[in-house]
Amino acid sequence: MVMIDFSGITLAKVSEKEIGAVASFEIGPLPKGYGNTLGNAMRRVMLSSLEGAAITSVRINNLTHEYTTIPGVKQNVLDIVLRLKNVRVKMEGKESSTVLTLNKKGKGVIKAKDLTTSKGVEIVNGEYVIAEITDDSTSLNFEAIVEKGVGYKRADESLRDEIGRIPVDTIFSPVRLVEFTVLPTRKGSQADLDKVVMSITTDGTVSPEDAIAQAGGILRSFFGQTAVVFGSEMNDTPTSELTKMSDWTVAELGIDAKTVAKLDAAKISTLSDVAAQPKTFYSKDLKLTAKQVKELSELLDQYNLGFAKNAKKSKKA
């Protein structure tokens, strides 16, 4: 059977406009026609499937709804709510939600950096203006719930049952814009090839490099799983392809960065490396949390792999 040649594909960063927020990459060489296939898939995943953190509900001076004003505040409540939606939050750790608070009295401009955060939470656009108090006797009190999520989430109107709680529709995606162009390129004497030039703009909570790496990992996991499904149904899964899957690096498969760091320290980099150790090695020797071990187990399950049953000598850094 004649196979399409996918060898020699590389990824290179060709420009960076804003450090940590805007960058362009070049991917290629690709077989003719695969430029649009890859570009569209990467773009859709980056815009819809990467995890982010955002405000999902707010409480402002215990007001019952957002269609009102606060004496001594320049912006109306609806405008403040809309501005709070634009506060970009970066959450580290395993917590799925956190609370931002603010208590301000007297004249002054309120910026995102004035919000009080908990440990492991960072406000990226700290200079963003949320509101302005124009009277010394006016107080403004915020309580905003921040949650982790993927894609878009409609405002949960049931939260209004809690007096003073205003639900907010939310865009979790940390990627703001993805543009790509497919250009002709060549490899040796073969001139009818594609390359993709992709520009990625993020909100600053993730870098363009992390965004493209996470998207690639998601696509690899998805297509790897579907390949196994199709292969088992057709009873025609090439053994060499399954072998290649076990050689994929965990860093490319969307695993939590802290888990990857611990695996790297133990010189465990591929799926086959992960499967070569018993489950107890990760919980006892590497001190991974139950959630991290479960994540590894689920990853192995996706590729019909599992932890080793008998303890083996662990790899040490």
Question: Which of the four pLDDT bands, split at 50, 70 and 90, describes residue 294?
Answer: confident
Against a cut of 0.75, is the pTM above it?
no
Question: Nearest-CA neighbor of 28 among 37, 20, 18?
Answer: 37
User: Where in the chain do CATH 2.170.120.12 domains reside?
Assistant: 51-171
> What is the band of 267 on the pLDDT scale with cuts at 50, 70, 90?
confident
Instruction: Give the fold, CATH level 3, of 238-317.
Output: DNA polymerase; domain 1 (1.10.150)
pLDDT range class, residue 305, cuts 50, 70, 90: confident
Residue 247 confidence (pLDDT) = 64
Residue 235 has pLDDT above 80, yes or no: no
Third-level CATH fold of 1-48+176-205+217-234: Gyrase A; domain 2 (3.30.1360)
The pLDDT of residue 236:
47
Give me the half-sphere count of Cα atoms (radius 13 Å) on the Cβ side of residue 23: 18
H or E element that contains 185: strand 175-187
- Residue 244: predicted pLDDT: 52
> What residues contact residue 8 under an 8 Å CB cut-off, 6+ apart?
29, 187
Domain 51-171 class in CATH: mainly beta
CATH 1.10.150.20 residue spans of the chain = 238-317
Mean confidence (pLDDT) of the chain = 86
How many angstroms separate the CA atoms of 248 and 269, rounded?
Answer: 8
CATH 3.30.1360.10 intervals, the chain: 1-48+176-205+217-234
Alpha carbon distance 4, 113 (integer Å): 52
